[in-house]
Structure 1
Amino acid sequence: MNKTVIRTIEILQYISENKDNANISEICRKLMIPKSSAFDIIYTLIDLDILNVRETDHVNQKYFELSTKLFQISNKFLSQNDLFLLAYPILESLSKQSGETTYLTIRDGKNIVYLLKFTAESSLIPNIQVGDTNNLYSTCEGKAFLSCMRELQINELLAAEPFEQNTKSTITSYNDLFKELSNSRKQGYTTDICESNDDALCVAAPVIDVTNNVVCSISIVSFYNRHDLTVLNKWGNLVNDSAFLLSKKLGYSFNDLYDFYNKMLESKD
């Protein structure tokens, strides 16, 4: 593999995740890249308008940030992808029906990545941005993916990393996780009730394509102190219907999401 390309991706990722420490010294130290190589890559990216020099109070130290051009490039990719084109009006409709912010999330290994967001007309907006990541076991979006896996698959996926207790409500054992996933399959949606953070009240459902693979999850995200828990069933039904609608548009052939759970997860194959 080309070392310069790898270093370029690593530098972009570091800058995206470490805005306050994105200077050449820290980049070289954290990524173990020679200063001359980092300098050449960074200033080439600046010449290409991929990076900007960020204004700070540090006179003798330059900090870097991603430019809007990179965002424009990613938007062009999203606009050309059928999944996102099909999902956006569904997210918009779901947001209007629930009065809350909605997300489309994909799985990246042991984490989830938020890729689309439709913001409700509300003064309180969840502090989750497109591109943010989180774990599988404490988020409703992550559990939507896990709900479509067998226990052995989940064990193999998560075994290397112990569950981190984000709040007092975070699931910290496989037994509790499997029990919740079993209930989620029966109700048709997953929940996050103050698990990923103390303010979370969220529901999600998986989106399944023509090959019966889970390609993403759709979620409604709000705040625990704004609602009674009885709202979860209403949101759950809405998010289940929305996920099923998108699944059908992607060629999913079962009658509903429950059908998938029954026929795929309970089979002996």
Structure 2
Amino acid sequence: MKKVLSTLARTGVATLTVALAMLGAPAHADENFPLDRAPDNTENLVSLQHGSQIFVNYCLSCHSASLMRYSRLTDLGISQKEIEANLLFTTDKVGNTMTVAMRPDDAKEWFGTAPPDLSVEARARNRDWLYTYLRSFYRDDTRPTGWNNMVYANVSMPHVLWQLQGQRTAMFEDVVDSENGEKIHKFTGFKQVTPGTLSAVDYDASVADLVAYMSWMSEPTQKTRKQLGVWVLLFLGVLSFLAWRLNAAYWKDIK
């Protein structure tokens, strides 16, 4: 595992310069683009570990997760030594939160806006949106970063995972709407231009792991909360039964 962490660390640092371009003007989401269902890997520790490595190496360069502490990664089976050696880039203490070195005020002054915090992004967007979004980038020379996205049209964020997925272009065709006769620029699919370091299947699996980690990060105690909720409901059920029988015993001799 330590070898994997080291490899991702070296690769992720190289994305810092590119990721700074994510601080561009806000874009608008395309609500008409169908979302793919994200695999639910939130119970798979191996997937969560891999997702945390991708997050720290590729996302944390610009985006903070100020509600998440590095020490919580030990809940995923990553030792404190592995965290310190391979994942601790923005601070020197495991107990600190996942913040970036760049101050929000500086980012706003230099780039016009500060990158959003990703602590609860999975809860705000949902897993399906994130899974489809991270797999829908394509080359677009009309955009300042050279990238666009089918889910988030005219997005300012470049495709920081392009080395893993490779470069793709989007294919469109003009069709006539049968209802109103208007010409529509219809998306027909993606075309692979250059290969990535991962196959299409492996890239989708990596994105699923990243999304699973972001979902876990948005509420690390979610599993405990659900387990506790079951016991609370059982307790209330027993208490309600006892209260019902007590009430019946109290009123049985009263006419």
Q: TM-score, normalised by structure 2?
A: 0.28
Q: TM-score, normalised by structure 1?
A: 0.27
Higher relative contact order (CA 8 A, sep 6+): 2
Structure index of larger Rg:
2
